Structure 1
Amino acid sequence: MILGRPGTSHHTCGTVPMGPAGDQRAVVDPYGRVQGVAGLRVADTSILPTPPLRGPAAGAVLVGEVVADGMRRGLT
């Protein structure tokens, strides 16, 4: 029996890895665009291909900034 709230103390990342076109492991490109799905982007630490050495907060902000910049510049 599980008592309380189940959860994790780990910072999950890398579940939707970023990579160049043609990379079989990559789900999104460097601007967070989901390959093969028009108009869908991912802007969180799940796109980091490897875990950060420290907490993911700075990486999360950077990912958001890069994806937002691509959207602002009209990258589709």
Structure 2
Amino acid sequence: MELDKNMLIELAHYKMPFGKYKGDYLVDIPEYYYTWFKQKGFPEGKLGRMMIQMHDIKINGLEEIIHNIRREFKP
């Protein structure tokens, strides 16, 4: 359970390292951007996994949970 908590905390504080949304928290990036990546292919590695998770969070309307985690837990 602790691993899942730490993963969510990291996801809540992770920022996009490149492109149009460079420096933005993943949760603040619009859903359409993740949908585009889903069609074209997510990046390999950790960033890709985090983007897939964020896409699932966004399509299920759960962004507020991530915002709360970011406020309550420091990285």
State the TM-score, normalized to the length of structure 2. Answer: 0.31
* Greater relative contact order structure (CA < 8 Å, 6+ sep): 2
State the TM-score, normalized to the length of structure 1. Answer: 0.31
